[in-house]
Chains A and B, each alone.
Chain A
């Protein structure tokens, strides 16, 4: 028997580029049937600045500063990736003190980034208060950054050969205070949001991403690890002494929104653990190798990857021996994590669109370089 195809009341809405829950200028085209999402399509390019192209006109030490503006919540890690790639080309290594400082800064950024994500997730799910709670500790981290690096968000601290300046005298004291407070506050996070019935109902079993999908879509970072994919660059390709510290690669095989939520909270605990090991053992000595004012990389190709707060960042530099790079290319985590949105959204409710985007933790300027 032939069934008649019923014309459904489909309609299209545009979420973004200015929308409270896209966190940036992402435009998402949604085909809806009532509250159900039939299909979706992300549109990029609203914040395109041509960082890769601009990098080809700047010197090796200069273009690093642009990368702080890509994933602005992982500014340190972005700088670190570029610096390590350039160090590879120059065949120098940062002194031990600088390496420890780099790891400390990267882990502090990861904490700050995950805190902002936690607050924003609450905001996206309609709970406003967690945002303020998250900013309480984030403010402490930003103050530490401000004292040492001079800025709070787009830090330009890590440089080829080490770090630009030595640590502020109060650094160790303040970090220890932060760690003490954070341990108590992670429990508060649990009471306020993690243990909440509504949050559990909104996140468990929603936005499933299988390990195969995560691999084929190129997802990295917490998004892939929540689907059970081992992809922590810090473990797989250790850099800057990550192989000397003890920490666990947090994994979860559920692959749903709650798995991604839980994973980031656990990652914060691991970051705290890393900082605790290093903060009392910062080696003395120089914080930077002396390099020439204008650096020239020998002709060749250099690639370096690091684990940012959102996943794997790869920096690919092609040098023709001049003082500017011939070609710079970034493999950014958010671009591939965004791919996961479309398969996840199919058949979901419009309210889940928000929670899925929140747990993917997208930073749009990182997608549009």
Chain B
């Protein structure tokens, strides 16, 4: 609690300092640039961290060490990879749609950067407390499929085209269940704003308060976000044993790195959304009526709670990847349209009933 308040004061101090020097409009412009730089730095730092974590976790699950040579315990490996990718040439295949080909990685990356905007990292540490935060994230994150389709279509490669088409079918269908899973919590909180949802969990996280419907929604959301991320067992878009690398087969160097970056950013964003909506975001573990316990929990800063929960969901997603085989495209669509979607629809009705009757804890 103390830490988050002090962070809020820092941002306020910067704001008043800029306003005292510049015209309010100029100050606002500078703040926007600062916020943008902060988002990019944060995203890149998180992606680098995630690449390292994924490799180490994969190493652990596969009885090997993972990266060990670059830096202590391979800690600089991700940076070495970034350097390598920066130095590689960005190839463009002949007879490809050159503009679309070059534009696609930017579309994908920009989209994933945009989704991070309304997320609350701690009390007051939020770029834009928009009143439709959850809706904004679901709407913007679905744009990344356009980038993937652009990449696959413009590559002049049949593997890429197949991968892009798969990805289109996959992301568009799984978005339905993912959205319905979020609606459950939105109904119970009575707001679409991220900060509102976090505040609504001050006396207990939704996964505890909302019991059965929220647990179903949480499981559905984790499955659908894994599918939307194109990660195993739903990594059909880039299935290396069938399509060599799917939609990004033809991309090299930094263009590939941008796809990679956006995948990891999306992974972070969706984990953050799951942590915020179902596990209370930066809100410490509170139980209604236990003031002493709640006060004790408040000593752990909100940012620690937030990233702790995020990493828990990230760990789940990494765990899936290194244990499950890949589904086939018809099985993937069957899972969504025959199982997840009906379950989600019934769950929304169930949750609405529970919310109306006030039967949550």
Contact = CB atoms under 8 A, between A and B. Distances in A.
Contact of A123 (B241, B328, B331): B241
A35 B63 contact: no
Interface string B58-86: 10011110000000000000000000000
Given A132-B63, A132-B64, A198-B233, A20 B240 contact: yes
B: interface residue count bin: 20 to 34
B167 to A, nearest CB: 13
Contacts of A228: none
A13 B159 contact: yes
A314 interface: no
Contact of B325 (A21, A34, A122): A122
A131 B328 CA distance: 20
B181 interface: no
Contacts of A35: 162, 166, 329-330
The interface residues of chain A, by DSSP majority, are classed as helix
Interface stretch (A209-217, A219-227, A232-240, A351-359): A351-359
For B239, B240, B325, the residue with the greatest tally of chain A CB atoms inside 10 Å of its CB is B325
B316 to A, nearest CB: 16
B96 interface: no
B168 to A, nearest CB: 12
B329 A129 contact: no
For B241, B244, B331, the residue with the greatest tally of chain A CB atoms inside 10 Å of its CB is B241
Interface string A26-65: 0000001011000000000000000000000000000000
A: interface residue count bin: 20 to 34
B63 A351 contact: no
Nearest to A121: B325
B235 interface: yes
Nearest to A35: B329
A350 B324 contact: no
Contact of A350 (B64, B235, B242, B326): B242
A129 B322 contact: yes
B241 A202 contact: no
B323 to A, nearest CB: 6
A124 interface: yes
Interface of A: 11, 13, 19-21, 32, 34-35, 122-129, 131-133, 136, 192-193, 196, 198-199, 201-202, 349-354
